[in-house]
Amino acid sequence: MPTPAEIEAKFWKALQSDMTIMIGLDGSNIIPRPMTAQLEGDAEGPIWFFTAKDTELVLGLSSSEKATATFVSKGHDLFATVQGKLCVDNDRAVIDRLWNRFVEAWFEGGKNDPKLTLLRFDPAQAEIWLDASSVVSGIKMLLGYDPKEEYKDKVAKVDL
């Protein structure tokens, strides 16, 4: 059974690999939307997002807002809800470090595109679940094992 630190490490590895996360502003009418998450190296935050300044998400920000991100790994073997703060942070050095051809495809003016906006999400805490359903779990359940017992060690609440 994995420790909370091991579960957290699996989250960061999966996010680094899969990169798509849903993010929305807490207490707003702005529906969470899929965004491409960018991490620097093996860093465990902040999570960066390139977007345009005229998107609802950016227009809904006042300065630094509480936000919630939800993540599902591509294999559906890890799920997470992450809470933290989201703000505009157009740090040119960070833009330069994270810039790549996929981001460039969205901005005709490149790094100097007037619509370019870099969002910074500072995660504070998360609840991370590992998928406990499997053929083995199903067989165990048929043999009388309690599935709640199998699952209880596959969730972690962590401060990030």
Closest CA to 88 of 113, 60, 118: 118
4-159 CATH fold: Pnp Oxidase; Chain A (2.30.110)
Q: Report the sign of the C-alpha dihedral through residues 2, 3, 6, 11, in that order.
A: positive
Q: 44-67: per-residue pLDDT in tens?
A: 789 999 999 999 999 999 867 999
pLDDT of residue 135: 45
Q: Could you state, in order of their start, the residue ranges of all structural domains in the chain?
A: 4-159
pLDDT of residue 143: 59
pLDDT of residue 136: 47
Each residue's pLDDT tens digit in the chain (160 positions)?
A: 789 999 999 999 999 999 999 999 999 888 899 999 999 987 678 999 999 999 999 999 986 799 999 999 999 999 999 999 999 999 999 999 999 999 999 999 999 999 999 999 999 999 999 986 644 455 455 556 565 565 556 687 888 7
Strands (E), 99-144: 116-130
Residues listed for the chain: 160
pLDDT of residue 144: 60
